[in-house]
Structure 1
Amino acid sequence: MSITSALVMYAVVWFMTFLMVIPVRLQTQGDVGKVVPGTQAGAPEHHHLKKKAWITTAIAAVVWAILFWIITQGIIEVRDFDWMNRLPPVSESDY
């Protein structure tokens, strides 16, 4: 795996994790009971984005390390997803 591939994979894992972490323990204006006029009741009152970004970074690093190990060890390869047999056959020199 090249450095660029590793960085792109980390970025994808980080953003996917961040989108899962954002709604955890989110307090909306409607929950708190202080809806600012002109805003929606579902707007966040306390979002704690900095803390959630650090949590996301830690979780994404662990997930990325596991995925990196799986890919570099050859446990999962591109050919595992070739369900229609469209890839050319593997020759002995490819190993």
Structure 2
Amino acid sequence: MLIDVLADSLAVTDVLIDVLADSLSDNDAFIDILVDSLSDTDVLIDILVDPLSDVDTLIDVLADSLSDVDVLIDCDSLTERLIDTLSYVDKLSDA
């Protein structure tokens, strides 16, 4: 299930790129604004390219964050906690 969530999150890469492209559709104006702020095109390029340059790096970052799925989510205990929480909410609403 966690894999499905991650896949859904990453499945819209094309949409994300389209949204970014639309937001940055006037590249000259965008670059002018950022270059004025940063005054160094090399720094600008590094800042923009480095985080997005490598899909493997992105996946590695996500994998590192979720490095141990078994520890992160114990489905049985998570389900029990959710049921306990919902039972508590029902009791509160009945009160």
- Is TM more than 0.5 here? no
Q: Which has the higher helix share?
A: 2
TM value normalised by structure 1: 0.36
* Structure with higher RCO (Cα < 8 A, 6+ apart): 1
TM value normalised by structure 2: 0.36
